[in-house]
């Protein structure tokens, strides 16, 4: 007789191998069955006492002799953590992006759960007044922040995030009251947390009312492209759709592109929806992210607002997904599993059978193409809400005109006039630092990074050089290394230099710089904007300021450095520049005050600018789609990019040559010749790439499935780091 079959656990581990691993169940655990699938297990892996945390993806029969298998050491979850639609979506993502399932599953889990930690305590940190504190709060006393806090907590316990909203800067007062025994920290069950009051919604515009009615009529899976000019009230449509979702007893998941936008979105959502709104982004602690993930998985959280990785949060009672600023490049993961959060949101909505709203003033050409083909419901908001008018746009031709630190006299005069009216101006430059490069005026030498094919950026007013690609730092030389000249000069202007120039020109004005250097701390962006308030002043910033922020007193937007995006080898450059210009211009004149936009350029006759000024983004998109179709670029083609880097150029070239030769011939799929990456050396490593294109997705993916095992078997692959990017957004 055959021996009784031994059931084994098939475990996906976070390793770069396209396979699962078989383990026997733990000796003291329950018998393997369907209830194991989706649970985390701790298993031995590697040499010695090495171990890893993986996810059980199947229970079946062993491929090898069961006697040769090791038992798992521990089952970490009483019930499956990944199940149903989410597990199905993750399997789909592993197949579509050709990534190991174990790495995809690990990407979907918050860091604490990925590391094998137990499910977090989902009670929220809160504070309440003690009996003595309530007596003090009821008696007359000296006004101040401690008394304000004590009176708030004397009414009811309050969660820390609610205190952050209602009484900013409360923590020092809490420490003082705690030392006096007047308040105490507590943990509250989610049901004990009082939701914020519900603010009354504004009267919708006719376009908003039409969009809301169309969304209420959507049944089951329905992708919706909500295209609305900046300031047209797209967020109001989201809020009403989420309110309808909550009224039906369902959960909503909202994706935003930047961490900086999350506090503003949370404040508005919490004020309107009447339920606690969870947050999920990398600015939170590991514990906070894990709690939000588990709260969504267990149905306690009804609305979650988060950045790219929030697309993996479970939804047990799904009702709606929203992707705000759907065109934004930050939704694409650029390392590890190279997924696109917008595309995964569409896949999840399809599997869940719920609507998904893609909102943007400047939709990606892929989404716009799908809408024009009838695959998406296309809703348009063509007018600004509240009676606000579009800003007046003016091109400033700076050819043959003197520039002071990159700023024209006309631009400076416009900023001065704006301040004189008691309003606010935004000077936009999408380059941080003091200057892009340090050069010798006598011989032309420039300060380049020794590890990258790139110039080092000048920072700290010329006292420091930093490579924005690898992070290398250096002190500027006192004299030119080539000719010993002392004529070393920073060339060009970044936000830091513009800030210095404006401070010298307008010494009395309030001036705030917003870029990566000034917004590293949590909530730094919100604090910077709050410091400006409604006072006259100047904002200097990069693309961090280009989207999502509503500044009622901002009436002037001056864009410095349009020219960088007009002449780029990237086929997406025109689309990206038009989106950026429209988004940043949309910050001006969003309330009752009229707005003005200045575009400073050396190329006022460039066709892209002419099309944008005369026809707006729809005209640019229509022209770009026609060009893409003629050139067979996305969305009329599908791409995959094989990237490789190594310590030597020879190793990269050998691998890419062998990879190109091994590519399986398949009709409709083309493997272009290997070539150096646009930045051929980065962080001391040589870089190259091989681009694949196809007119249809299916043949491309069939070729990739056949090709990847051949790549992994190549000896030359062991001497390089290589990765595959399906649907790349950047070809570098």
pLDDT of 340 strictly over 80: yes
- What's the pLDDT at 82? 96
pLDDT band at 190 (very low <50, low <70, confident <90, very high): low
pLDDT digits (tens, 9 = 90+) for 86-97: 999 999 999 999
In which band, very low, low, confident or very high, does the pLDDT at 111 lie, cut at 50, 70 and 90?
very high
CATH code assigned to 388-434+493-628:
3.40.50.300
Q: Is the pLDDT of residue 104 over 50?
A: yes
**CATH number assigned to the domain covering 206-386:** 3.40.50.300
Q: Which is nearest to 683 in space by CA: 650, 721, 729, 655?
A: 721
32-41, 237-246, 382-391: least confident range: 382-391
Asked if residues 500 and 461 have their Cβ atoms less than 8 Å apart, the reply is yes
pLDDT value at 194 more than 70: no
pLDDT at 382: 87
User: What pLDDT score was predicted for residue 1?
Assistant: 40
Mean pLDDT on 645-668: 95
pLDDT tens, residue by residue, 314-339: 999 999 999 999 999 999 999 999 99
- 517-568 pLDDT tens trace: 877 776 667 777 777 778 899 999 888 877 766 777 889 999 998 887 788 7
Average pLDDT over residues 704-710: 96
pLDDT at site 256: 93
pLDDT confidence of residue 544: 80
How far is it, in rounded angstroms, from Cα 290 to Cα 125?
14
CATH superfamily label, 7-85: PriA, 3(prime) DNA-binding domain (3.40.1440.60)
Confidence of residue 192 (pLDDT cuts 50, 70, 90): very low
Mean pLDDT of 47-53: 88
| E-only strand ranges, 592-672 | 596-601, 638-646, 669-671
What's the pLDDT score for residue 187? 81
Q: What is the spatial distance between Cα 348 and Cα 356, in angstroms, rounded to a whole number?
A: 9
pLDDT of residue 519: 74
Provide the pLDDT for residue 142: 79
112-143 tens-digit pLDDT = 999 999 998 877 778 899 988 888 888 887 78
Q: Does the pLDDT value for residue 195 go beyond 60?
A: no
pLDDT (mean) for 626-637: 94
pTM above 0.75, yes or no: yes
- Block residue for tokens 């007893």: 249
pLDDT at 3 over 60: no
Contact 480, 488 (CB under 8 A): yes
DSSP 539: E
55 pLDDT band, cuts 50/70/90, is: very high
Question: 276: pLDDT confidence band, cut at 50, 70 and 90?
Answer: confident
Asked if 376 and 223 count as a contact pair (C-beta separation under 8 A), the reply is yes
Residues 244-267 have a mean pLDDT of 87
> Which are the contacts of 127, defined by CB distance < 8 A and separation ≥ 6?
153, 157, 158, 160, 163, 174, 183, 184, 185, 186
Question: What pLDDT was estimated at residue 196?
Answer: 59
Kindly report, residue by residue over 415-463, the tens digit of the pLDDT: 999 999 999 999 999 889 999 999 999 999 999 999 999 999 999 888 8
- Does domain 638-726 sit in CATH 3.40.50.300? no
Q: How far apart are CA 619 and CA 602, in angstroms?
A: 22
Min mean pLDDT across 31-35, 38-42, 535-539 is at 31-35
pLDDT in tens, 376-411: 999 999 888 776 778 889 999 998 888 888 999 999
Confidence of residue 164 (pLDDT cuts 50, 70, 90): confident
Q: Where are the beta strands (DSSP E) in 351-436?
A: 355-360, 377-381, 392-397, 403-404, 407-408, 424-428
């Amino acid at each position: 007789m055959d021996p009784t079959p031994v059931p084994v656990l098939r475990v996906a581990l976070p390793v770069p191998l396209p396979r699962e691993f078989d383990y026997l169940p733990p000796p003291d655990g329950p018998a393997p069955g369907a209830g194991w699938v989706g649970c985390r297990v701790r298993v031995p892996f590697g040499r010695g006492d090495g171990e890893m945390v993986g996810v059980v993806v199947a229970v079946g029969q062993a491929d090898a002799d069961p006697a040769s298998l090791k038992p798992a050491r521990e089952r970490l979850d009483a019930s499956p953590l990944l199940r149903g639609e989410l597990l199905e979506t993750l399997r789909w993502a592993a197949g579509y992006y050709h990534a190991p399932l174990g790495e995809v599953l690990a990407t979907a889990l918050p860091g604490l759960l990925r590391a094998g930690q137990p499910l977090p305590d989902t009670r929220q940190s809160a504070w309440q007044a003690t009996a003595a504190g309530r007596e003090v709060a009821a008696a007359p006393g000296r006004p101040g922040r401690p008394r304000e806090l004590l009176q708030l907590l004397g009414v009811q316990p309050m969660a820390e995030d609610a205190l952050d909203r209602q009484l900013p800067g409360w923590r020092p007062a809490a420490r003082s009251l705690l030392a006096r025994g007047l308040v105490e920290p507590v943990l509250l069950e989610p049901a004990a947390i009082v939701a914020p009051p519900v603010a009354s919604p504004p009267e919708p515009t006719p376009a908003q009312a039409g969009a809301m009615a169309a969304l209420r009529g959507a049944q089951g899976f329905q992708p919706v492209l909500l295209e609305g000019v900046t300031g047209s009230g797209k967020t109001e449509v989201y809020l009403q759709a989420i309110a309808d979702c909550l009224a039906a007893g369902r959960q909503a998941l909202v994706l935003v592109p930047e961490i900086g936008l999350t506090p503003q979105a949370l404040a508005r959502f919490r004020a309107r929806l009447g339920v606690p709104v969870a947050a999920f982004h990398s600015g939170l602690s590991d514990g906070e992210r894990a709690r939000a993930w588990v709260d969504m998985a267990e149905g306690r959280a009804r609305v979650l607002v988060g950045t790219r990785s929030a697309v993996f949060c479970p939804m047990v009672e799904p009702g709606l997904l929203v992707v705000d600023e759907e065109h934004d490049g930050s939704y694409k993961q650029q390392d590890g599993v190279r997924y696109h959060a917008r595309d995964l949101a569409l896949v999840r909505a399809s599997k869940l059978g719920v609507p998904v709203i893609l909102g943007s003033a400047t939709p990606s050409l892929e989404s716009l193409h799908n809408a024009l083909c009838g695959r998406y419901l296309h809703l348009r908001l063509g007018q600004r809400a509240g009676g606000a008018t579009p800003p007046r746009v003016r091109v400033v031709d700076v050819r043959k005109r003197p520039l002071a630190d990159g700023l024209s006299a006309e631009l400076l005069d416009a900023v001065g006039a704006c301040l004189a009216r008691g309003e606010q101006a935004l000077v936009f430059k999408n380059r941080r630092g003091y200057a892009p490069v340090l050069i010798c005026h006598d011989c032309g030498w420039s300060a380049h990074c020794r590890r990258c094919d790139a110039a080092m950026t000048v920072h700290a007013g010329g006292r420091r050089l930093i490579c924005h690609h690898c992070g290398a730092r250096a002190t500027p030389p006192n004299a030119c290394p080539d000719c010993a000249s002392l004529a070393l000069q920073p060339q060009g202007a970044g936000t830091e230099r513009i800030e210095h120039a404006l401070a010298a020109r307008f010494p009395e004005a309030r001036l705030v710089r917003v870029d990566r250097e000034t917004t590293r701390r949590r909530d730094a962006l919100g604090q910077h904007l709050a410091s400006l308030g409604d006072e006259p002043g100047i904002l200097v910033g990069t693309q961090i300021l280009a989207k999502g922020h509503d500044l009622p007193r901002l009436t002037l937007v001056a864009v410095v450095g349009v020219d960088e995006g007009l002449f780029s080898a990237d086929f997406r450059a025109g689309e990206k520049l038009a989106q950026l210009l429209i988004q940043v211009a949309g910050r001006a004149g969003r309330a009752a005050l009229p707005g003005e936009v200045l575009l400073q350029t050396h190329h006022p006759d460039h066709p892209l600018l002419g099309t944008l000024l005369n026809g707006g983004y729809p005209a640019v998109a229509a022209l770009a789609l026609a060009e893409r179709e003629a050139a067979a670029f996305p969305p009329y083609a599908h791409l995959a990019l094989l990237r490789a880097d190594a310590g030597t150029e020879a190793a990269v070239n050998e691998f890419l040559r062998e990879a190109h030769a091994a590519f399986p011939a398949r009709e409709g799929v083309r493997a272009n010749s290997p070539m150096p990456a646009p930045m051929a050396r980065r962080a001391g490593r040589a870089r190259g790439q091989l681009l694949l294109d196809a007119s249809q997705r299916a043949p491309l993916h069939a070729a990739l499935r056949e090709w990847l095992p051949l790549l992994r078997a190549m000896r030359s692959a062991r001497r390089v780091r290589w990765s595959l990017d399906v649907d790349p957004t950047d070809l570098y």
